[in-house]
Amino acid sequence: MLGKIEAIARRAGAAIMEVYQSAGGMEVQYKDDDSPLTEADRRANAIITEALQGLEPRLPVLSEESTPPGFAERGQWRSYWLVDPLDGTREFVKRNGEFTVNIARISEGVAELGVVHVPVSGTSYLGDIACGAFRQQAGGSPAPIRVRTIPGPGTGETRHEPLKMVASRSHLDSQLEPVRKRLEAIFGAVELANMGSSLKICLIAEGGADIYPRLAPTSEWDTAAAHAVLTAAGGDITDTRFAPLRYNRKEGLLNPHFLAAGDWSQQWRKILGAIFDSAAAN
């Protein structure tokens, strides 16, 4: 199934690149929530929705670019596809390459399978919690990926690299500064990298970063595919009370604020719990 979903995401990515590389492809409309919409979003959505509806077993498809049914209906779904045809539309419009195609299968609230495709590079990140996580270059075979461990304080191990924290490029959050300072106090140097879309979570999954605290709004389709990849690679995402992040459990489709991390042997609750509580109170 991962191979089938990767192929669908790659087809959608090719359609996105046709618009991205065209002279007049950046006409932007804005939806009711002020999020941008382009021709690339529409083309990718049509390709993905049609392809997923042809797969067996047939599952409902919930996409950012479709009208979601009410929770009375949606809450009855045991499994379904959750799609963001173009995650990082703002980055797409800026032409910085940091946008992705996200396709996830959700079962009983858990992101169990996901593909994140990066159209500009042709790279795909694949994850199935039953069989692991992989990175696949265009024309290549999937190569296993894994989160990296963090030598903790008092272990006697030498950390040769700074702790790497990732954050959004388009949604900068002033509340992250206390998080960064707290991490510096515990781990020493902290390197901050800003980037768009679900690439942040995929970077943690492949061992290129350690932690992604998100104290600003996201929607469930923004995180689900990369969440499956991260979990399959040995990491996870929780809300800021450290409960597992789950999907399709309420009427609204906004995520709570969350923490994505690779190495959960660290005592993140002890390290960041008070800061998260303070941010929630404010």
pLDDT in tens, 133-145: 999 998 899 999 9
Distance of alpha carbon 239 from alpha carbon 223, whole angstroms: 12
User: What confidence tier does 157 reach under pLDDT thresholds 50, 70, 90?
Assistant: low
Name residues whose C-beta falls within 8 Å of residue 174's C-beta, 6 or more positions apart in sequence.
none
Answer yes or no: is pLDDT of 241 > 90.
Answer: yes
DSSP conformational letter for 68: P
Backbone phi, psi, residue 93, to 5°: -65, -35
At residue 64, does pLDDT exceed 60?
Answer: yes
| pLDDT above 80 (res 26) | no
Placement of tokens 């593909």 in the chain: 115
- State the DSSP H helix or E strand holding residue 127, giving kind and residue range, or none if neither: strand 123-128
Q: Can you give the pTM of this predicted structure?
A: 0.94
Domains, the chain, in order of start with CATH, read 2-144 (3.30.540.10), 163-281 (3.40.190.80)
- Mark out the alpha helices in 88-235 (DSSP H runs): 89-94, 176-187, 199-205, 220-232
User: How would residue 170 be classed by pLDDT, with cut points 50, 70 and 90?
Assistant: low
Residue 99 to residues 2, 42, 102, 208, 223, Cα–Cα distance (Å): 20, 15, 10, 18, 13
Q: Which residue has the higher pLDDT, 143 or 281?
A: 143
In the block, residue with structure tokens 């990066």: 118
As given in the structure block, the two tokens for residue 82 are 């959750």
The answer to whether 232 and 129 have CB atoms below 8 angstroms apart is yes
Report the distance separating Cα 8 and Cα 2, nearest Å: 10
* pLDDT in the model for residue 168: 85
The stretches of the chain forming alpha helices (DSSP H) are 2-20, 39-53, 71-74, 89-94, 176-187, 199-205, 220-232, 268-281
Cα gap 255→263, rounded to integer Å? 22
Question: Which SS3 state, helix, strand or coil, does residue 46 take?
Answer: helix
Q: Which helix (H) or strand (E) holds 282?
A: none
Q: What was the pLDDT predicted at 24?
A: 61
- CA–CA dist 228, 114 (Å, integer): 5
Residue of 89, 5, 116, 112 lying closest to 55 (CA atoms): 5
Q: Are strands 143-144 and 163-168 parallel, antiparallel or unpaired?
A: unpaired
Determine the pLDDT at residue 164: 96
